[in-house]
Structure 1
Amino acid sequence: MSVHDRKNLKSALESAILYLQKQGVEEARQDAWLLLEHVCGISHSTYFVHSEDEMPKEQQEQYEALVRKRGEHIPLQQLTGEAWFYGIPFFVNEHVLIPRQDTEILVEEALRGLPKDARILDLCTGSGCILISLLVTREDCTGIGADLSEKALQVAEKNGAQAGGRASFVKSNLFENIEGTFDVIASNPPYIRTDVIETLMPEVRDHEPRMALDGSADGLVFYRKITEQAGSYLKEGGKLCFEIGYDQGDEVRELMETHGFADVQVLKDLAGLDRVVTGIWHKKT
């Protein structure tokens, strides 16, 4: 790919698709289009009318540079700086996990039965997408997002503006700097087993933050720590909601039941895989 070869929109797009295919990018056609849309700000209809128009030199340079980076398996969302989640655009970079559609099920379950004026805690908040989606959906609620990564918290703060001042973010090793009680604690913690990380697709393995992926040897260390302490931070009848790996449902359910949670449920994602575990806290009398 060389900017010395001046291209129109159509040839630039076709060259990008071929290049990404050669680099083994799975969604080569879609990603080439989305990068063109990002650089040129055009819609499909505009493209079809103007596909033979020559690209301005500066746009062509920018487009080809981004396509080369995508060919290095840098995630598309990191290149555009944006990921959509729960119908909301979120700023993302290399310091946070890219929000995934499967996690929307966690948001839906946290919303289920959420009382009026609820207080929500999002542990391992990353980009803040879970907490902010909850607060955008329920404007009567407030919440705190906690993360150990200062760089992740900077991303969450930037996204937090969408919640109209009802989201605050704190640097905390899980509950370390958390005060008060909550109606819902939601968490998508690191849950991938350490020995599995090297087998992940390069977009994840090489370009997303390792501390947001690594759940220790068995992938369960954060579920243990959170479940052991969550009862001290939940109101009577409060709900604990976890995202889990597809093969962790039975183990996380057992953990929650062992620590006194009632009505524990394992819920599936759109692919029919275990994805979320929820349970209700009743204070011991």
Structure 2
Amino acid sequence: MAELLRDLLARATGQLRAAGVPSPEVDARALLEHALGLSRAALLLRGEEEVAPDAVAAVDDLLARRAARVPLQHLLGEVEWGGVRLRCDARALVPRPETEWLLDLARREVGGSARVLDIGTGTGALALGLKAALPAARVWATDLSPGALTLARENAALNGLDVTFVEGDLLAGLAGPFDLIVSNPPYLPEGDRAGADPEVTHDPELALYAGPDGLALARPLAAQARAALAPGGTLLLELDPRNAATFAAELRGAGWEAGVLPDLTWRERFVRARPGDAGG
């Protein structure tokens, strides 16, 4: 049966709210826009129009999957993030809004023909965002997951950007020198598994958890980065607000110049570091 667009939106919002989806109205609007091919303005202005039964069925299918807590980004297929379009699916971590601030911090660190390395690239978000912002930069990106790298290459082609992707653990044998090494590595403590949001279970576990304190990847990453950074080069990491200050202190103890930068909600999330003269 046909349904008025405004009624369909109200029903969709209620269904997602009942399922415990954190942002039911925003997600309902996004799914209707996607399924019906409507702009945001059209969704607002055409509320009294009827939606054909086959289109209602398509919306209902998406709503059922979102109510089952499949990530919104997987249902939309593509998202706008950091100035690039990214395909998103179960092969890689869904890019988070807070990581866009890491991208912004990274853009401020380098310019021109800088040599940049993104470790654990996932969808390719950071590497592609940096290449889009700094066309003359030479950008490399690594990931341990073949599936994630395939997705990252698809996203590079989607955006027409030239990034060198390398499969391997951390620096994957890349010697540098790099002016900037940036990473959003796995940083959640293993103890978070039991209480993870349902959406998180659709992300690869390889991209989420990093030992008892969430720093099992950050430590060897920094050790390898130290030898690969150019003089004056910078390491920028996104970590959990619970462990970012701890890791910055560890780096300072190992002879780095290291500090913590806040995210947009003033949580200590990002570590900015440069190798000092001391060993470690």
Band of TM-score, shorter chain: over 0.9
Q: Please give the alpha-carbon distance, in whole angstroms, between the structure 1 residues aligned to 2:253 and 2:139.
A: 27
Q: Which residue of 2 aligns with 1:71?
A: 67
Distance 1:64 1:213 in 2: 31
Q: 259, 264, 267: which one pairs with 1:270?
A: 264
Per-residue CA deviations over 1:104-128 (Å, capped at 9, x if unaligned) read 2222222223142111110011111
Map of 1:151 onto structure 2? 147
Q: Secondary structure at the match of 1:221?
A: coil
Amino acid at match of 1:95: R
Q: Does the CA-based 8 Å contact 2:83-2:132 persist in structure 1?
A: no
**CA, structure 1 residues 178+50, in 2 after alignment: closer, same or farther (shift >3 Å)?**
same
Check whether the contact 2:213–2:243 (CA below 8 A) recurs between aligned residues: no
Matched, 1:224 2:219: yes
Structure 1 residue 239: Cα displacement: 0.6
Which structure 1 segments of 5+ residues have no match?
A: none
Identify unmatched segments of 5+ residues in structure 2. none
- Pair 1:260 & 2:255 matched: yes
Identity among equivalent positions (%) equals: 31
Matched position secondary structure for 1:52 = coil
What is the rounded CA distance, in whole Å, between the counterparts of 2:158 and 2:133 in structure 1? 11
Give 1:51's aligned amino acid.
G
Instruction: Give the Cα separation in 2 of the matches to 1:224 and 1:238.
Output: 18
Aligned equivalent of 1:235? 230
User: Which of 79, 84, 99 in structure 1 is aligned with 2:80?
Assistant: 84
**Structure 1 residues 136 and 44, CA, compared in 2 at 3 Å: closer, same or farther?**
closer
- The CA deviation string for residues 9-42 of structure 1, in whole angstroms up to 9 with x for no partner, is 2222222112111111121111111100001121
User: How many residues are aligned here?
Assistant: 279
Structure 1 length normalisation: TM-score?
A: 0.91
Distance across 1 between alignment mates of 2:157 and 2:249 = 38
**1:36 aligns to what?**
32
Whether the 8 Å CA contact 1:86–1:133 is kept in 2: the answer is: yes
* 1:76–1:221 Cα change, 3 Å: same
User: 1:17-56 to 2 correspondence within 5 Å?
Assistant: 17-56=13-52
Partner of 1:247: 242
Does the aligned pair in 2 maintain the 1:227–1:255 contact within 8 Å? no
Task: State whether structure 2 residue 141 is matched by structure 1 residue 140.
Answer: no
Query: Counterpart of 2:185?
Result: 189
Q: What residue in structure 1 maps to residue 10 of structure 2? A: 14
Give the superposed CA RMSD: 1.9
Matched, 1:211 2:211: no
TM-score relative to the length of structure 2: 0.93
Structure 1 residues 196, 284: CA separation in 2 closer, same or farther (over 3 Å shift)?
Answer: closer
Tell me, in whole angstroms, the C-alpha distance in 2 between the residues paired with 1:168 and 1:133.
14
